[in-house]
């Protein structure tokens, strides 16, 4: 338990934190990050808490901001969603936050605070095709040098990801875990949003989200939310929060559907498809890998 270095085939290593057999990101200069992670299950939960959940690089920032705007109606303040991420915050910090809290996490269902299920909190779950996710995660890991200390190449990174040797572990495990939540926790209200659908028609997604949150607004306000949560606007407003060594925003790179085609070789794509089919047998999720 503690800081670990996971080597890739090219001799580069990615630095992570291991807690109870699970990998998490290392947060530089953070005191007792292991204690924070081990305390997640016991976080004090309120009935009006809303959770935004997704595997990394699947649109958490985007959807969190949509939810924040709809619930707060505050279109002027610029807030970093990491300030509401339960993996990084002690319970005493969370308890000082006003309601309704829009919390977010990349944790598995089994790792969520117990109170989420006891109080039947609303959960917004986001899906994104795993090939675009993989490319985005690669850039995330290679740009956030202070966190991951990773300088590997794409061809050596992809096997690490497919083997689950990244923060938050195997995306196969994550997808299957969340796909089963309807059976494991049938009384918890969950809205599933799909990244590719949101890209194609963000207004439809915003309306659906507003209805789920009981925060329906005017069409004019929905258009404002669409404008404020566009990729370019969020990059402009929030790109400063996490920058690479060259100054480029880490969390806002392209946000496109189908960028994976610029990275995957034919052989890599075939290997990815084969492993996905093997690992996801019995879990039917139909992803869209290109724009319509």
CA–CA separation, 195 and 50 (whole Å): 19
More confident residue, 232 or 57: 57
End-to-end alpha-carbon separation of the chain, Å? 45
For tokens 């089919």, name the residue.
Answer: 277
Query: 128 to each of 38, 57, 76, 136, 269, how far by Cα in Å?
Result: 28, 8, 29, 11, 17
User: Nearest 10 degrees: CA dihedral of 55, 59, 64, 70?
Assistant: -140
- Catalogue all structural domains in the chain, each as residue range(s) with its CATH number: 35-279 (3.40.50.300)
Residue 84: predicted pLDDT: 86
CA–CA separation, 207 and 214 (whole Å): 10
Residue 141: predicted pLDDT: 95
pLDDT exceeds cutoff 70 at 292: no
pLDDT exceeds cutoff 90 at 277: yes
- Other Cβ atoms less than 10 A from the Cβ of 290: the count is 12
For the ranges 2-6, 12-16, 186-190, 246-250, which has the lowest average pLDDT? 246-250
What token pair was written down for 222? 């929905």
Residue 187: predicted pLDDT: 94
Are 251 and 245 within 8 A, CB to CB? no
What's the mean pLDDT when you consider all of the chain? Answer: 90
* pTM for the model: 0.92
Residue 167: predicted pLDDT: 96
Are 271 and 264 within 8 A, CB to CB? no
Arithmetic mean of pLDDT, 2-7: 93
pLDDT exceeds cutoff 90 at 30: no
Q: Is 106 a catalytic residue?
A: yes
CB pairs under 8 A, 24+ apart, for 236-239?
A: 237/78, 238/61, 238/78, 238/80
From the number of C-beta atoms within 10 Å of its C-beta (0-12, 13-18, 19+), residue 45 rates as: buried
- DSSP symbols for 121-186: -EEEEEE--HHHHHHHHHHHHHH-HHHH-----HHHHHHHHHTT-STT--HHHHHHHHHTHHHHST
pLDDT exceeds cutoff 60 at 16: yes
More confident residue, 92 or 233: 92
For the ranges 44-53, 115-124, 242-251, which has the lowest average pLDDT? 242-251
For the ranges 72-76, 127-131, 248-252, which has the lowest average pLDDT? 248-252
β-partners of residue 249 are 243
Residue 253: predicted pLDDT: 62
Catalytic residue among 61, 106, 139, 140: 106
Cα-atom radius of gyration of the chain, to the nearest Å? Answer: 18
């Amino acid at each position: 338990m503690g800081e670990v270095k996971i080597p890739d085939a090219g001799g580069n290593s990615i630095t992570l934190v291991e807690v109870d057999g699970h990998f998490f990101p290392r947060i530089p200069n953070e005191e007792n990050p292991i204690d924070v992670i081990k305390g997640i299950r016991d976080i004090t939960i309120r009935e009006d808490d809303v959770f935004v959940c997704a595997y990394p690089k699947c649109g958490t920032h985007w959807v969190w901001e949509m939810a924040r705007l709809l619930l707060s109606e505050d279109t002027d303040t610029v807030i970093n969603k990491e300030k509401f991420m339960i993996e990084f915050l002690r319970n005493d910090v969370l308890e000082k936050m006003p309601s309704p809290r829009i919390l977010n996490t990349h944790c598995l269902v089994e790792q969520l605070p117990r109170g989420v299920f006891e109080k039947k909190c609303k959960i917004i779950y986001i899906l994104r095709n795993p090939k675009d996710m993989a490319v985005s995660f690669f850039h995330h890991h290679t740009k956030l040098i202070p966190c991951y200390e990773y300088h590997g190449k794409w061809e050596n990174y992809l096997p690490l990801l497919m083997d689950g040797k990244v923060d938050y572990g195997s995306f196969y495990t994550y997808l299957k875990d969340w796909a089963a939540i309807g059976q494991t926790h049938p009384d918890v209200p969950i809205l599933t949003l799909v990244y590719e659908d949101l890209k194609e028609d963000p207004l439809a997604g915003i309306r659906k989200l507003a209805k789920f949150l009981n925060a329906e607004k005017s069409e004019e306000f929905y258009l404002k939310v669409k404008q404020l949560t566009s990729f370019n606007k969020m990059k402009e407003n929030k790109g400063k929060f996490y920058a690479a060594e060259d100054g480029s925003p880490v969390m806002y790179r392209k946000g496109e559907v189908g960028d994976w085609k610029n990275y995957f070789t034919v052989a890599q794509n075939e290997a990815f498809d084969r492993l996905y089919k093997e690992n996801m047998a019995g879990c039917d999720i139909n992803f869209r890998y290109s724009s319509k």
